[in-house]
Amino acid sequence: MNAIDFFCGGGGMTRGLLDAGIDVIWGLDSNPSCQNTYEHNNNIPYLCRDILNVHGNELIEEYPILEDNDELLMVGCAPCQPFSVLRQGPANEHISVNLLNEFGRIVADILPAHILVENVPGLRGKGEEVLNQFLDLITDLGYDYVSRVVNAKDYGVPQNRRRFILIASRRFVPIFPEPTHGRDLLPYETVYNAIHHYPPIEAGQEDEHFFNHRSAGLAQITLERIQATPHDGGGRLDWPEHLVLNCHQNGFVGHSDVYGRMSWNSVSPTLTAKCYSISNGRFGHPEQDRAISLREAAALQTFPDNYEFFGSLTEIGKQIGNAVPVLLARQIGEYVLEQHNVLNQE
């Protein structure tokens, strides 16, 4: 079975599908900063294109293998906001582009055997409206589908990461793969299992023995704050008064996770595009006085150690934090491929 990966970013979904045994033909994304990372690690073309300028018939002309649509999986992990971005028109007007519906337009052109969509949970308002339009479209095109919010930790990812997943097919009626971890199953993977083996580094340093084992530098006051944060799950509520931020004075509670440390024996919190910054979440190393490194963040997203990221600290943080966890992608890919192969054997 072949696949094409829209909004592929740094390649988490693609890597998982490849690991599942699916032949990914290319990834498509409009962000040029992801191209080196994607192509270097996956040996697959990265089509740096705006989906507004992409049409299914042109893709088929360019890649005739897509004509065999009964052997094709189309993946669309559209960036949320929700499912849309604002673009500036010729008259300086801001227009909303529904990325999921743009993906649906190409689905209608190509009619792949199977569809996979991933996004943030809890879609409301405009996001729910766009999703329902997409569901109406694929139903009219003859697809059966199943959708739900899953937690990546239930599939072996050492991270508390809830995501909306949709699996659709016009060849079989999909169900969700059963969780592998949790109560009465395998124990959850932990931060310790994922990152304890990386060499110690200080804030602002990089270790040459592992790709991207680099941590962000810290201002002196921020370093004092992380030093005052108890190991293994401590947070800013444990700081002495002179280190408390002005915005947290006078009894303000707010988000207690910022400036916090991860816990060794738990899954990590949800990683974001700023997972390298302790001021943006519970992204402090459990013991060392720094935020987790880019490599450690990648490990918590289940990227293998030989997956090398390219770009600035900010760009790599986005590539990692926005990715689909590799192991989750692999398990969903294995399910779709298994069902696909059963049909081909009948």
What is the predicted pLDDT for the residue at 282?
95
Judge contact between 179 and 331, C-beta under 8 A: no
State yes or no: pLDDT of 331 exceeds 80: yes
Asked whether residue 34 is assigned to any structural domain, the reply reads yes
CATH for 162: 3.40.50.150
Summarised one tens digit per residue, pLDDT across range 55-91 is: 999 999 999 999 999 999 999 988 766 566 655 555 4
What is the predicted pLDDT for the residue at 53?
94
Count of alpha carbons within 13 angstroms of residue 252, beta-carbon side? 10
Please tell me the distance from the alpha carbon of residue 70 to that of residue 171, in angstroms, as a whole number.
8
Domain of residue 45: give its range. Answer: 2-182+323-345
Number of domains in the chain: 1
Handedness of CA 110, 115, 116, 118 (dihedral sign): positive
Asked whether residue 310 is assigned to any structural domain, the reply reads no
What is the predicted pLDDT for the residue at 92?
44
Please tell me the distance from the alpha carbon of residue 326 to that of residue 194, in angstroms, as a whole number.
13
- The overall average pLDDT reported for the chain is 91
Asked whether residue 312 is assigned to any structural domain, the reply reads no
Judge contact between 110 and 60, C-beta under 8 A: yes
Asked whether residue 23 is assigned to any structural domain, the reply reads yes
Residue corresponding to tokens 């926005």: 322
What is the predicted pLDDT for the residue at 257?
77
State yes or no: pLDDT of 34 exceeds 80: yes
What is the predicted pLDDT for the residue at 129?
83
What is the predicted pLDDT for the residue at 73?
98
Summarised one tens digit per residue, pLDDT across range 242-265 is: 888 666 665 566 666 789 999 999
Summarised one tens digit per residue, pLDDT across range 268-298 is: 999 999 999 999 999 999 999 999 999 999 9
Summarised one tens digit per residue, pLDDT across range 98-118 is: 899 999 999 999 999 999 999
Residue 212, beta-bridge partner list = none
Residue 202 confidence class, pLDDT cut points 50, 70, 90: very high
Asked whether residue 7 is assigned to any structural domain, the reply reads yes
Asked whether residue 299 is assigned to any structural domain, the reply reads no
Return the percentage of the chain with pLDDT > 90, whole number.
80
Question: How far are the Cα atoms of 8, 69, 315 from residue 33, in angstroms, in the given order?
Answer: 12, 30, 7
Residue corresponding to tokens 């790709």: 211
Please tell me the distance from the alpha carbon of residue 336 to that of residue 172, in angstroms, as a whole number.
10
Summarised one tens digit per residue, pLDDT across range 217-227 is: 999 999 999 99
φ, ψ of residue 222 to 5 degrees: the values are: -70, -40
Return the percentage of the chain with pLDDT > 70, whole number.
90
Residue 178, beta-bridge partner list = none
Summarised one tens digit per residue, pLDDT across range 1-30 is: 999 999 999 999 999 999 999 999 999 999
Predicted TM-score (pTM) of the model is 0.93
**Residue 80 catalytic?**
yes
Selected catalytic residue, list 8, 80, 247, 275 = 80
Question: How far are the Cα atoms of 10, 99, 113 from residue 122, in angstroms, in the given order?
Answer: 24, 17, 27
State yes or no: pLDDT of 96 exceeds 60: no
State yes or no: pLDDT of 93 exceeds 50: no
H/E/C letters for each residue in the chain? Answer: CEEEEECCCCCHHHHHHHHHCCEEEEEEECCHHHHHHHHHHHCCCEEECCHHHCCHHHHHHHCHHHHCHHHEEEEECCCCCCCEEEEECCCCCEEEEEHHHHHHHHHHHHCCCEEEEEECCCCCCHHHHHHHHHHHHHHHCCCEEEEEEEEHHHHCCCECCEEEEEEEECCCCCCCCCCCECCCCECCCCHHHHHCCCCCCCCCCEECCCCCEECCCCCHHHHHHHHCCCCCCCCHHHCCHHHCCHHHCCCCCCCCCCCCECCCCCCECCCCCCCCCHHHCCCECCCCCCECCHHHHHHHCCCCCCCCCCCCHHHHHHHHHCCCCHHHHHHHHHHHHHHHHHHHHC
State yes or no: pLDDT of 308 exceeds 50: yes
Asked whether residue 254 is assigned to any structural domain, the reply reads no
